[in-house]
Chains A and B, each alone.
Chain A
Amino acid sequence: MSALSIREVRKAHQGTPILKGINLEIEDGEFLCLVGPSGCGKSTLLSMIAGLDTIDSGEVSIGGRVVNHLSPKDRDIAMVFQSYALYPNMSVRENVSFGLEIRKVPQAERQAIVQRVAQTLQMEHLLDRKPSQLSGGQRQRVAMGRAIARDPALFLFDEPLSNLDAKLRVEMRTEIKLLHKRMGTTIVYVTHDQIEAMTLSDRIAVMRAGEVQQFASPQEIYDNPVNLFVAGFMGSPSMNFIRAKVETQGAGFGLRLDTHGASHLMPAQGIDAALRSRVGQEVIFGVRPEQITHRPDGAGADQLHTLRLPVELVEPTGPDTLLLVPINGQEVTCRVHPTHACAAGEHLDLTFDLSKAVYFDAKTEQRLL
């Protein structure tokens, strides 16, 4: 039985479609991330799952039960908000137990639950404080505690970490992951941060303009993006997209790469069928920065291709150094180990690992397979 199932869900606001037929299904205990740029409809979808927003058509079921017409309190869910939405006039203890009180949980039991939640989240010392006396991270913790206390079938997180500073965000991310591991409750988590989505989720739904672009595991989405948008959205620094002309090369095909006068033909393998009809046309060659580096790693020798390229700019990040090289009039980012980096203006041998390279149609931006 799936924990959450969303079928053909649509929503429009004053004639403008916001969600254009969403289909998602996750199993009990899974961690789903809805990720996408702002305005893609991810928060609206979450609101509809919560019952805070109405559904125009389609069906949302939680634990096998259609909840379209149930009010939020009857959906067996809990939610953590971006602004935390802690009740300012109540102490932490009251905040956590408010939902229980409304559900008429007896006083003694309520206290026990609050104690247990406080222990789990290590916030026993905060119980008698007011939200205004808490730091951002502590508020975040209380907001999670309030959700946990209810022991719902489904947790909803609406960009819960985006109001925290960078360091705290990483800490809380880990904590959320640990919590999920320990409790095993199903979670739907909205974020615009692709790293959060990658690190936390079992499955990611990448959304754009009211549509799910791709719904798969994080690694699958990273390695096999279905289109240019997904490929560009996931990963940082983002994937290089090099516009290049398709040419025949022996029995196979290659892509013409020009850089400062020098011209190379980069073999393109595994998609002969798609390229055959595009000879002489441009396609988009997608290659992640870490796949253009100073030395071959695990891939087979036939998948490696080395070019000598002029380095325009050097950006050390610490663990890696990013190099910008011009190819076909575009800036292409390469990622090398600092010990192999050179100075700007020099030339460097850079090896392309083509085993993970992807190709997109220049017009439809869909992946060529």
Chain B
Amino acid sequence: MADASNPATGTNLGRVLIYAALALTCLYYLLPLYVMVVTSLKSLDEIRTGNLVAPPQNLTFDPWIKAWSSACTGVNCGGMRGYFMNSVMFTIPAVMLSTLIGAANGYVMTMWRSRFSDILFAALMMGCFIPFQVVLLPMARTLGVLGIANSVLGLVFVHTVYGLAFTTLFFRNYYITIPDELVKAAKIDGAGFFLIFRRIILPLSIPIIVVSVIWQFTQVWNDFLFGVVFSSGESQPITVALNNLVNTSTGVKEYNVNMAAAIIAALPTLFVYVVAGKHFVRGLTAGAVKG
């Protein structure tokens, strides 16, 4: 929007100030990550005597090893490994299911629109707004009745159900930009509901599938509320385990192990962010259409 010939920003001093401000804020945003990384590579002694922002004098990977395989959360001393796998186990199916169902819903809501699907859309939007606290008690009871409380399966179920509102919104808003003449042409060519979806619509959906998967992945992986309410002990996700680790009141606080564990918990979403950051941004902006 503003271009280089812009007279007001063209002055050298102004440019310098802008760059200085941007650089400083960059430091501010990077500082916590930096501190986490250096802390996780220091020994506890060094942490106590040294400076928060100083780079490690004696590089050690022991905190990482401990965080991964032997740190204690409560009574369990198996490190983050098991909880990390728990998160993987429920995140992947929940992301795939909610994306697939969301795509089908979006397809119906745009290409096979009816009063019924309009009502559903309006009804679903509420799912984007409610504070989940308002469904926790009944859901806890339901999972108990279904026999999937405190299990990975229960978390798959909960995350799929409450992810649907967002994935449906994503796909609907994307499909609405596809001309419906395409579906009309396919109908005249003789294709039916599923064939049109599979052969015409899905191949066009790659960008929005990426957005939906990334969004759902970060949401589900980073979730704490459902994890802490609907799981316990061995079945807990990594966010809950991390919180337990950090807030365990017994023994010496091992800040370096805590930081290593925090980075481990953050790595998958950070990885996705680095690899597909562009789509991530687009997903966030699309989700913001109606938050």
Q: Which of A52, A82, A83, A102 contacts B189 (CB 8 A)?
A: A102
**Quick one: given A87-B200, A88-B204, A89-B200, are A102 and B190 in contact (CB under 8 Å)?**
yes
Chain A, 95-114, CB within 8 A of any chain B CB:
98-99, 102-103
CB atoms of A52 and B190 under 8 A apart: no
Q: Is the C-beta of A204 less than 8 angstroms from some C-beta in chain B? A: no
User: Which B residues touch A207, using CB under 8 A?
Assistant: none
Q: Which residue of B lies closest to A99 (CB)?
A: B189
CB atoms of B190 and A82 under 8 A apart: no
B interface footprint on A53-90 (CB within 8 Å = 1, 0 otherwise) = 00000000000000000011100011101110111110
Q: Is the C-beta of B252 less than 8 angstroms from some C-beta in chain A? A: no
**Quick one: given A89-B200, A103-B190, are A82 and B182 in contact (CB under 8 Å)?**
no
Q: Which residue of A lies closest to B190 (CB)?
A: A73
The distance in angstroms between the C-alpha atoms of A71 and B196, with both chains bound, is: 15
User: Which B residues touch A52, using CB under 8 A?
Assistant: 184, 187-188
User: Which B residues touch A51, using CB under 8 A?
Assistant: 187-188
Interface size on B, residues (CB 8 A): 16
User: Would you call the interface of chain A mostly helix, strand, loop, or mixed?
Assistant: loop
The distance in angstroms between the C-alpha atoms of A103 and B182, with both chains bound, is: 18
Interface size class of A (residues with CB under 8 A): 20 to 34
CB atoms of A87 and B182 under 8 A apart: yes
The distance in angstroms between the C-alpha atoms of A50 and B203, with both chains bound, is: 26
Rounded to whole Å, the gap between the CB of A146 and the closest CB of chain B is 8
Q: Which residue of B lies closest to A102 (CB)?
A: B190
Q: Is the C-beta of B65 less than 8 angstroms from some C-beta in chain A? A: no
Chain B, 173-209, CB within 8 A of any chain A CB:
179, 181-182, 184-191, 195, 199-200, 203-204
User: Which A residues touch B203, using CB under 8 A?
Assistant: 89
Q: Which residue of A lies closest to B206 (CB)?
A: A89
User: Which A residues touch B199, using CB under 8 A?
Assistant: 87, 98
What would 13 A/B residue contacts be, using CB atoms closer than 8 Å?
A: A50-B184, A52-B188, A72-B184, A72-B188, A79-B188, A83-B179, A85-B179, A87-B199, A87-B200, A88-B182, A89-B203, A99-B189, A102-B190
Point out residues on A near B: beta carbons under 8 Å. 47, 50-52, 71-73, 77-79, 81-83, 85-89, 98-99, 102-103, 146, 150
